Amino acid sequence: MLHLKQVSFGYSKVKVLDSVNFKVNIGENLSIIGESGSGKSTLLKLIYGEYDLEEGEVFWKDTQILGPKYNLVVGYDFMKYVTQEFDLMPFTTVEENIGKFLSRFYLKKRKERIDELVKVVELEAYAKTKVKNLSGGQKQRVALARALAKQPEILLLDEPFSHIDNFKKQSLRRSIFKYLKKHNITCIVATHDKNDVLGFADEMLVLHDKKIIAKDSPQNLYKNPKLPLIASFFGEFNSIDNSIYYACQMKIVEHSEFKAIVKQSYFNGNSWLIEAEYNSESIFIEHHKALSNGLSIDFEIIE
Ligand SMILES: Nc1ncnc2c1ncn2[C@@H]1O[C@H](COP(=O)(O)OP(=O)(O)OP(=O)(O)O)[C@@H](O)[C@H]1O
């Protein structure tokens, strides 16, 4: 398992992470979420051994992960890290990039492995294209495939689908995360996108103010978000009488003691998000159709 013990770190005297402790079991998918600047990428870099820790320890199984003070070359063979920068070889093809770390000793095996990974990231049509001629999203897919090439035991992904268009994103996510589960590869994903988390993460960890403020399954955190910060990750919500209710828990009815005035309707795909004024504050209600601004509505909360 991966084990972080009392990890603290700052780039200057100011701490970015303070006494962070957690474990991830082998084969598990853990998502790291938190506002921009909360330290998600920093945490991945510390797990990778990119920096020396000020305090604390990181272990993968029995191996202690050490930083540049102890390792001439950063990183370990059992771990791959896909950064937001990709770090590819622009003047060689997709196939060559993916195969970069694969032995040329068994050429047939090498070719089969490259073909398999080209399929996983759905880049069959671009296998022979030079990376410099690819779009940002295609480059991101090459970086993912290259990280998988030598079958790491643990994979660190920083916003892994951020450059990929919505047409491809869903199927690519399923393909990658299915591959990782099938091969029992432990995976840690820093993300802003709830879709990277909901159907795939075994657990999610929430960073705030240098600390872990929650670590639980997506289902439990969704059902019982405890803090507005956590609820906001999942969608539009309302804080009413110190409780958190998602917009989908609010229902417009004929008569109720709760009354509000419609301010705006936003098209949301399979529903509309109604913004309304209640007790001089904005609330959000999911509804099947748009409503006129200024309309008086009654609503209920479905627990
Ligand atoms: N190389 C660096 N040198 C100095 N400060 C840094 C460096 N990298 C990050 N920081 C600072 O550390 C804090 C955490 O940054 P980090 O990139 O880990 O956040 P993040 O949660 O990944 O953000 P985002 O969601 O925007 O990618 C920020 O305040 C950032 O400005």
- Does the pLDDT value for residue 113 go beyond 90? yes
- Whether the pLDDT of residue 105 is over 90: the answer is no
Query: What residues contact 20, with CB distance under 8 A and at least 6 apart?
Result: 4, 6, 7, 8, 43, 56, 211, 212
The pLDDT assigned to 219 comes to 97
pLDDT for 72? 85
Q: What does the radius of gyration of the chain's CA atoms come to, in whole angstroms?
A: 23
Do residues 6 and 57 touch, judged by C-beta distance below 8 A? yes
Report the separation in Å between the CA atom of 206 and the middle of ligand 1, taken as the mean of its atom positions: 16
pLDDT band for position 103 (cuts 50, 70, 90)? confident
Relative to the CA of 43, which ligand 1 atom is closest? 18
Q: Which of the 8 DSSP states describes residue 75?
A: S
* Cα–Cα distance measured from residue 160 to residue 86, given in angstroms and rounded to the nearest whole number: 10
pTM of the predicted model, to two decimals? 0.92
Distance CA 202, CA 204 (A): 7
The minimum-distance atom of ligand 1 relative to the CA of 207 is 21
User: pLDDT band at residue 134, thresholds of 50, 70 and 90?
Assistant: very high
**Tens-place pLDDT, residues 60-94:** 999 999 999 998 889 999 999 998 888 899 999 99
Looking at residue 150, its pLDDT comes to 86
Ligand 1 atom index nearest CA of 12: 4
- Tell me the CA end-to-end span of the chain in Å, nearest whole number: 38
- Answer yes or no: is pLDDT of 17 > 90: yes
Return the ligand 1 atom nearest residue 190 CA.
22
242 lines ligand 1 (CB under 6 A): no
Q: Which of 40, 45, 156, 207 most suits a substitution to test ligand 1, by most atoms within 8 Å of the C-beta?
A: 40
Dist. CA 177 → ligand 1 center (Å): 26
Q: What is the pLDDT of residue 250?
A: 95
Q: Is 39 in the pocket of ligand 1 (CB under 6 A)?
A: yes
Nearest residue CA, atom 9 of ligand 1? 42
C-alpha torsion 269→271→273→277, nearest 10: 160
